[in-house]
Structure 1
Amino acid sequence: MAEDVSEEDKQHLVETVDDLRLSNAALQAETEMFERFIRRQEAKDESAHSDSQGGIFQDIGMCQGRKARLAQEKHRLTTEQKCDVAEREYDTVREELKHLKESSERQLHSHQATLEEAEIRLIEVKKASYEFDRDVAKVIREKKGGMMDAEKVVRYVEDRMKAKDALVEKLRLKNGALRVQKRKLELQLKQKEEVGEARHHVDFQQLKIKNTQYLQQIDILNQDLLRLKLLAGSTQQILHSHKNKLQQLINESKLLSNEIASRDDVVAKMEEETRQAEHECAEAEAVNAQLRRQLESFSVPPLLDYIKAKSIHGELEQTMRSWQRKVVIAEMALRNHTKMLEKLQFQASGAENLTQ
Structure 2
Amino acid sequence: RERGSSKGATYVRQRLASIPQHVLKLLQLAAFLGFQIDGTLLEVVYTHAGDVLVNGLEGIEHRKKRLESDDDDNNTSKTSFQQAVTWAVEDHLLTSVGDEVASFRFPHDQLRQVMYELVPNDDAEHHTRCEGPPSRSQVHYALGIFLRDFYGDSNASPYLLLATYQLNQACNHCLREQDRLPLIRMNVESSKVAQNRSAENLVWEFLKIGIDLIQESDWKSNVAYPLLLEVYNIWVEIELHRGKFDKSDALVAEIVRRAKKPDDTVNALVLQARTFSVRLQFDKAIHKSREALRILGVKLPKSNHVNGMREVLRAKRMVRGMTDDAFTHLPAMADAKMRKAIPILREVSVYGFLDDP
Structure number with greater Rg is 1
Fold shared per TM-score above 0.5 = no
* TM-score normalised by L of structure 1: 0.15
Considering fraction of residues, name the structure with more helix.
1
* TM-score normalised by L of structure 2: 0.15
The higher-RCO structure (CA 8 Å, 6+ apart) is 2
